[in-house]
Amino acid sequence: MKRNLLLLFFALSYTFVQAQVVFYVQAPSPLEGNYTLSYADVGVDWGVPDLTDPANAVLAEMAMAYDGSATADSLICEPPVISDVDGKVAVLFRGACEFGAKALACQEAGAVAVVIITYEGEVPVAMGGGAVGVDVTIPVVMITRIAGNNLRPEIEAGGTFVFIGNKVGYYENDLGLKNNDVVRAQFASNIQLLSQDDSEFDVQVGAWVTNFGSNDQTGVTLTANINLGVDNLYNEVSDPMDILSGDSAYFALPTFSQANYPLGMYEMSYTTESAATEDFPADNLFLADFRMSENTFSYAQVPDVATGPVNAQFTSAGESFGENQSCVVFQDANGSRVTPLGMTFAMSTFGEGLDGEVISIYAYEWTLQFEDLNDPAFVEISDVDLDLLSSAVYEYVGDDLSAENIYLPFEDEIELEDDVRYFFCVAFDSDVVRFGYDISKVDYGATQDVYLQAMYPNYDGQTWYVNGFGTDMVPGLAVKMVDVNAVGINEVNVASDITPYPNPARDFIQIPLRDVTGLTSIQVFDVSGKLVETLSITVTPGEVVKYDVSNLDRGIYTFGLRYANGNVSNFNVVISK
């Protein structure tokens, strides 16, 4: 699985054959943009056109396809199609019958293409044509349920157009930036304590610009901006270059660095333009935001540290040989400044329910010594090179936490060393559970080519894969890291660090009391400081106390714990109902 990273990467341009099949909702829709898709490919069970050929691209209005059945999510398993899809892209839902049968029914009703909305939480999958797929001669694609649900009201209102196909050469003047071709910060959420100044943190800046159009382009430039709130921290424009039709060029811009890095979201954008008027400007701007956080480490986007990383889709290995693990790699020259307390993750199933499912988290030291992925010393990930440092187990109770972020603390204290690689993993051994991933326009392909480091491996119970499911499938995991000195102070002066989970909560929270024994008082205060509940319990060492919060209204509450030895702990819990 190791990528072959060539020294020619930094050449200014290269000639390529690019099959850029896209599902792009057109302006003026407020939902304009590219969406994740899979598509029916030419094969023994399909008669569909080759979508990698730009001549087979479709640009048409979308229309929901209905067959008169009782289900609200029309499946088109009871032809004929009774809604007007003639000359339009027919949109329907997955389930109950073969993909080919659905597509053929829409084709016979005059549709020029078919869009199938997949199941809740599932990424678009490969589609077989079934018994009648060979009779389907129009494009058939699949999009996510999230995308389908968002687009459906617009589609039903009418007037929303979509481009489906390979747009290379479709327009005359068409520059573009692709998700996997822009360089990002190495992590989407960085720890401020590890990023004190320009000697400890910077961002390499650059991107490949592709000329998808049929015309050669002159005077092509790349502009990069980085803003923190209202302050512009970085604005650089490249020297102009010419790019032939069908070619790409890499634009390297000066490194972004600062004397210090305040907390917050750093809004990073790339824009490309040329001397010609752009025919398809929608992909000329690309965002690559990153966060400076107090204690959240993540490759996935973290729009709000209180709610945790993005989990837009859920998936796992198609064939499992035991316990599945999805991991993130951490390494820092000043890693000993922090200690990891726990991990945030989200899980889901395809309607099976999570009640009783058991999830584990692991922290490993990766003992294999190598400089980067081009180092001959790096061959593969092996279990013998992973030393377990700590773990923890979480069991779902009920099904209402599906797809919601859960925080789980490690059982043992972890001491990190400088410049040592670590794996932080979430794992399960189940046929129905799926990991959460951030696939919302985040791809670390070009970023990995610059930094040359492993990012988020996964394990199917038998084999480790250094790039997991691919650089565009970013695990929706976060690791909570705090100042190692602060942890030491807490242990001496007050009680051990207490982090309840799940948080946010609905019905209950679990409070890990690792080093507590004896009579413990729990007081709950609302945002006004009013005492709303109190409870006294006797705790045994290592106990995890389950506390019922079902009678608390929606809001933020402060829990105060007073122990038999006089020490106290406080933490906040968000109740979401």
Q: Which CATH number belongs to the domain containing residue 118 in this structure?
A: 3.50.30.30
Same domain, 331 and 479: yes
- Domain range for 110: 19-166
Report how far residue 154's alpha carbon sits from residue 157's, in angstroms, rounded to the nearest whole number. Answer: 5
Instruction: Look at residues 116, 145, 166 and tell me which one is the last residue of a structural domain.
Output: 166
* 474 occurs within a structural domain: yes
User: C-alpha angle with apex 260: 306 to 475, nearest 5 degrees?
Assistant: 40
Spatial CA neighbour of 107 closest among 184, 46, 26: 46
* 546 occurs within a structural domain: yes
* 1 occurs within a structural domain: no
Over residues 470-481, mean pLDDT: 93
Please say if the pLDDT value at position 304 is more than 60: yes
Same domain, 430 and 326: yes
Spatial CA neighbour of 467 closest among 476, 457, 477: 457
Please say if the pLDDT value at position 303 is more than 80: yes
| Both structure tokens of 460 | 């199917």
| Both structure tokens of 503 | 């948080």
- Residue 468 is part of a domain; what is its CATH number? 2.60.120
Are 398 and 550 in contact by the 8 Å Cβ rule? The answer is: no
Same domain, 80 and 158: yes
Please say if the pLDDT value at position 108 is more than 90: yes
The pLDDT of residue 19 is 52
The pLDDT of residue 523 is 85
Same domain, 27 and 99: yes
- Residue 200 is part of a domain; what is its CATH number? 2.60.40.10
Global pTM value: 0.76
**Would you say how long the chain is, in residues?**
577
* 394 occurs within a structural domain: yes
Are 334 and 194 in contact by the 8 Å Cβ rule? The answer is: yes
pLDDT band at 491 (very low <50, low <70, confident <90, very high): very low
- Residue 559 is part of a domain; what is its CATH number? 2.60.40.2550
Please say if the pLDDT value at position 329 is more than 90: yes
Number of H helices, E strands in the chain: 4, 39
The pLDDT of residue 61 is 97
Residue type, 391: S
The alpha helices in 30-168, defined as continuous H runs, are: 99-108, 145-157
Same domain, 79 and 128: yes
Collapsed DSSP state (helix, strand, coil) of residue 335: helix
| Both structure tokens of 30 | 């407020």
pLDDT digits (tens, 9 = 90+) for 181-227: 999 999 999 999 999 999 999 999 999 999 999 999 999 999 999 99
Instruction: Look at residues 459, 483, 507 and tell me which one is the last residue of a structural domain.
Output: 483
Same domain, 515 and 565: yes
Torsion region of 322: left, alpha or beta (phi above 0 gives left; psi -120 to 50 gives alpha): left
Same domain, 331 and 429: yes
pLDDT band at 408 (very low <50, low <70, confident <90, very high): confident
Same domain, 23 and 161: yes
Sequence-distant (≥ 6) Cβ neighbours of residue 456 within 8 angstroms: 299, 326, 327, 328, 329, 467, 468, 474, 475, 477
- Which of 100-104, 118-122, 267-271, 410-414 comes out lowest in average pLDDT? 118-122
Strands 140-143 and 113-117, bridge-based pairing? parallel
Same domain, 328 and 438: yes
Question: Is the previous residue joined to 240 through a cis bond, with omega within 30 degrees of 0?
Answer: no
Sequence-distant (≥ 6) Cβ neighbours of residue 384 within 8 angstroms: none
pLDDT band at 407 (very low <50, low <70, confident <90, very high): confident
Same domain, 122 and 207: no
pLDDT digits (tens, 9 = 90+) for 17-58: 345 788 999 888 888 888 889 999 998 899 999 999 989 999
In degrees rounded to 5, what are phi and psi of residue 318? -60, -35
Instruction: Look at residues 166, 196, 221 and tell me which one is the last residue of a structural domain.
Output: 166
CA dihedral 107, 170, 179, 285 (to 10 degrees): -120
* 311 occurs within a structural domain: no
Same domain, 337 and 448: yes
* 333 occurs within a structural domain: yes
In the block, tokens 């565009």 appear at 472
* 302 occurs within a structural domain: no
Same domain, 512 and 387: no
> In whole numbers, what is the pLDDT of the chain averaged over residues?
88
In degrees rounded to 5, what are phi and psi of residue 386? -115, 115
Number of domains in the chain: 4
* 533 occurs within a structural domain: yes
